[in-house]
Amino acid sequence: MILKRHEPIAIFDSGIGGLSVLIEIKKILPYEKIIYLADKKKHPFGTRPKDEIEKIAYEIINFLISKNVKMIVIACNTASTIKLDDLRKEYEIPVIGMIEPEVVSQYINKFRGNSVGLIGTTATINSQAYDDVIKKLNTDIKLYSKDCSKLVPLIETGKIESDSFKEELNNCLSLLLSDGITNLIIGCTHFSFIIERINDLLGNNVNVFNPSRFVAHYVKEKLSHEGLLNSFREIYEPEYLITSKRDEFINTGHKMTSLAFKNLKLITI
């Protein structure tokens, strides 16, 4: 497979969460073409068994490869817990996940103290993918993980003003605060859109780290290293591919971001 500079970067997630990664990539790589795929038909990923998550990820990746993309970004922490090394051996294309050592290493030295909280889905927390990467980078860090899966569908449907959302978020963070955390990793891209609310509940004594920004920097570094940065100085509107609930995606996307969604198609994988 010959990868070309002018081909698009593909980004995928189960819904709107990965838009946080798209936004960060567009900030530092404004001239790149982007295809964003939201597999809302199978949303949410985070409460599914491991083998099912792997099957979904492979189906999406095969579909995106058929679109002649030059890189695939798994903008979902849950899908990033599959065996990426095996996947990279199978496909002749750069594949980047949310929990790469090259991503975590960008913010691990910014931690204040060694007590770190992690919020994510059931699948992400159970995989211990963050535990494994952090342990390799710094054995002194104590990681406290909390399954916050119930927040994902509430964010996906834009119900962040509801009492159930506020109660669930408070429950999610209060236990971590009682553990005495001084840092928090946003281990689900959906949670990137509620960081202000998270900061309000945690206060000034906890540093919050959003991996979406650091993934974007790794994408730029990887494309540069592979000689795949787009040489054309033109701004492209992202192409959005949605497998279900088109209107819901647009409505919640507008609520959470400033993206226009001009080029959006309903597809079947």
pLDDT band at residue 246 using 50, 70 and 90 as cut-offs: very high
Candidates 3.40.50.300, 3.30.70.260, 3.10.100.10, 3.40.50.1860; CATH matching 101-210: 3.40.50.1860
**Look-up of token digits 């834009």:** 158
Q: Is the pLDDT of residue 1 over 80?
A: no
Q: For residue 266, how far is the Cα from the chain centroid?
A: 21
Identify whether the C-beta of residue 249 lies closer than 8 Å to the C-beta of residue 103: no
d(CA 236, CA 245): 25
Which of residues 26 and 1 earns the better pLDDT score? 26
Q: Is 148 a catalytic residue?
A: no
Which one of the listed residues 72, 188, 202, 223 is annotated catalytic?
188
CATH topology of domain 9-98+213-266: Rossmann fold (3.40.50)
pTM, to two decimals: 0.95
Domain boundaries, the chain: 9-98+213-266, 101-210
DSSP lists the bridge partners of residue 11 as 36, 73
| Residue-level pLDDT at 197 | 96
Which one of the listed residues 34, 72, 76, 202 is annotated catalytic?
76
Identify whether the C-beta of residue 149 lies closer than 8 Å to the C-beta of residue 106: no
- Mean pLDDT in the chain? 95
pLDDT 10s digits, 74-94: 999 999 998 777 778 888 899
Same fold, 9-98+213-266 and 101-210: yes
Continuous segment of H or E residues that includes residue 13: strand 9-13
Identify whether the C-beta of residue 149 lies closer than 8 Å to the C-beta of residue 79: no
